[in-house]
Amino acid sequence: MTNNINTLPRSDDVIIVGGGLAGLFCALKLAPRPVTLISAAPLGQGASSAWAQGGIAAAMAEGDTPEAHAADTVAVGGGIVDEAVALGIAREAAPRIHDLLAYGVPFDRDLEGRLAVGREAAHSARRIVHVRGDGAGAAIIAALSDAVRRTPSIRLIEGFVAEALLTEDGAVTGLQLREADNFAARPVLLAARTVVLATGGIGHLYAVTTNPREASGSGLAIAARAGAVIADSEFVQFHPTAIMVGRDPAPLATEALRGEGATLINGRGERFMAARHPLAELAPRDIVARGVFAEIAAGRGAFLDARQALGACLADKFPTVHASCIAAGIDPATQPIPIAPAAHYHMGGIAVDDRGRSSIDGLWAGGEVSSTGAHGANRLASNSLLEAVVYAARIADDIAGRAIPSPARLPDALVPPRGAASDAAAVKRLRTLMSAHVGVIRDGDGLAEAVRSFAAFEREATSIAVRNMATAALLVAASAWSRCESRGAHFRSDHSADVPALAQRTMTTLTVVREFADGLTERPTPRAAQPMIA
């Protein structure tokens, strides 16, 4: 059922923050237990998962196995994938796909009625289930949104953002909400002992991203402010083929195009990936992103060429990509598509265990805001939607077995209302700094400047929204400066090799990061450091 904010949930409700795949799936899996689902945008909008073009990786085809899927995940992850987590997720893929089918997701099928599977970069087999080629995300979110609206045990609150997590003695006591885009509104407090954060990633911290503006790191920031352990925040995946037509967010040219034979060329018409990796266009994303970045930096430009591989068939097989190109005056059947790397997926996030539990009692996290250890330093294509549904189901199972005590009182507001509008100029500066210094290629001096800048942003922000963006940016930049090596999606031009001794996950807290930032401000010339451990 849909309620406005004036009809508050019961204090023993499960509160889920986020209307993307993880949040919707978890809410449905908890039914008929009372759940309040809070979404910043109307359901079906504002969720990165709704924009996912690739699909869901699942070893369901004849001859494929979960063990092979997990091995591919480990091979791509830069030496820090939790192998048990990767295997567990791969083994739960088939039942979660069947769940989605039961909720009405119209996955593509072959002529014999079996699920059709495609291949994407760094997968050793065809194991990606799609919807009309490039429409999986939108179709999944549409089906689950309809199911949520039909489920009477789910109370839906749309148009509100969670701006603070309230805790006492290391346990969740509530949430502070505010009406989205209404910075003068008074905060709304919800008492809660059980909160699931499914708020998405951090892409909109960057000037060039494929993510919606709601993916601004708010969930990461509010959990960190409450003391949660944060993992692997330096690892940000840049999709190598965002379509550069002047839109923010940038439309995405799905990796499945390259799986079907599209090639990457520069402005001279030369293919450039074959010289960089044996898999050429199907190399891991970090390698492809750096290859595209290098061509652009050298002034040669970069393009995705689907003319020979797909031609006129592209419109039918990949209607979303085709529509984005046509809207920008590009006919992908006859013209190469201009591309650039764009912030796409955050491997880091709130550290969680195999049940989705964070380090704060009563707080679970699922989807991109979490860090399970499954992706390591570089996410394997189409593993993100799979991880989201697997962990959403696990979180629901874990919560279902618990009795939730009612909070004794409504907590006090953590942050007094400021009434200040989000500073558009500050947001633009922050996003520009992230792209310039914490992007595809990084170096120590640029990262040090970013850390100092984001620490100042956090101290001086006049709105909670900007402060939360600064907190998330600070976590990423500080961990990136601390990791003095190159591993997976984290590439340092001043430390271009991997260091075997650093083949470990980063675990830190905002307190540690702030202490580090203060020291860096006092010490302009930084020295090498190990990854920060809380």
Q: At what angle do helices 510-522 and 444-460 cross, to 10 degrees?
A: 110
Closest CA to 460 of 474, 481, 477: 474
The 8-class DSSP code of residue 64 comes to -
Closest CA to 206 of 380, 483, 442, 528: 442
**Apex 254 CA angle, 134 and 37, nearest 5:** 65
Neighbours of 207 (CB within 10 A): 17
Are the C-beta atoms of residues 172 and 195 closer than 8 Å to each other? yes
Q: At what angle do helices 383-400 and 136-149 cross, to 10 degrees?
A: 20
| Sign of CA pseudo-dihedral 96, 102, 31, 150 | positive
Q: How far apart are CA 438 and CA 340, in angstroms?
A: 16
Q: What phi and psi, each to the nearest 5 degrees, are found at residue 347?
A: -75, -25
- In the three-class reduction of DSSP (H, G, I as helix; E, B as strand; rest coil), residue 141 is classed as helix
The 8-class DSSP code of residue 403 comes to P
Structure tokens at 484: 């003095």
Give me the active site residues, please. Answer: 285
Closest CA to 176 of 221, 233, 211, 229: 221
Are the C-beta atoms of residues 492 and 219 closer than 8 Å to each other? no
